[in-house]
Structure 1
């Protein structure tokens, strides 16, 4: 919301209410225009980040992986660890996708290679970001069912169907009409 308000001001001063040292105060800041290539944005000189205070310790040990492509699968793994039973029902399921704080699954690079790698590793199902569907259509290896997902919630719903031996043919896929 802060980013949206700053962009909407288009260089006009914006008022911010801050909590500093337990006291609330209002300050006025004038955004500055920043241009990089063809992109222009209004900035106020702060960096925003999302921080979480977990009641449990979460440690992820990962070797030889760079980038955010495993975000959704890490989130599913954490949920699986914190809940009873197996989210996948013991089935071989692979997937990929970035994830943001709202649970939106984002696109990744190299999805075609990941599809073949998953199949070669024994996966029967693959959770693919909806934003990558255009790269998936026509490139799904035999023996692998690709399930389209745009959110963590959709991924969990798909896992529930798979784990319960439900109608996996009814799950969303990457196809020419739905890509």
Structure 2
């Protein structure tokens, strides 16, 4: 048990600081620490056999990491160009992926139409379009079936009704001018 206790003590002298929540990351760091410590014990045994002075554990660890990081060469793969023979030089309109897609706000004729039945559809949670205009970012799972807009509908906020109610007449006429 002397070797195991000594190895465990040496691992904890210079352990790799890893505060990962995933257990396997801590286990991986511990496995690296234990292998470097065991390599240092073998290195020290060989140095004694050759009657040489060896490096202390801390310097040995630093040397191992320097050597391991210097062996890693950045290799660039040769890239194929479109100008290679056999491939036509044509431009292809590839749409770029849209990230952070903004949903549309329906026009007022559809939004305030009383003949349409604005039914509620319960979907995944997305940002309420009425609250987000006021600076609040709240998420709701209520979707208007006609407008296709997510709106809050609960005891504290009733954005669904506020979104679909008409503005006062004075504000509507000012919009038309």
What's the TM-score, normalizing by structure 2? 0.20
Greater RCO, 1 or 2 (C-alpha within 8 Å, sep 6+): 1
Larger of the two Rg values belongs to structure: 2
Structure (1 or 2) with the greater helix fraction: 2
Structure (1 or 2) with the greater strand fraction: 1
What's the TM-score, normalizing by structure 1? 0.20
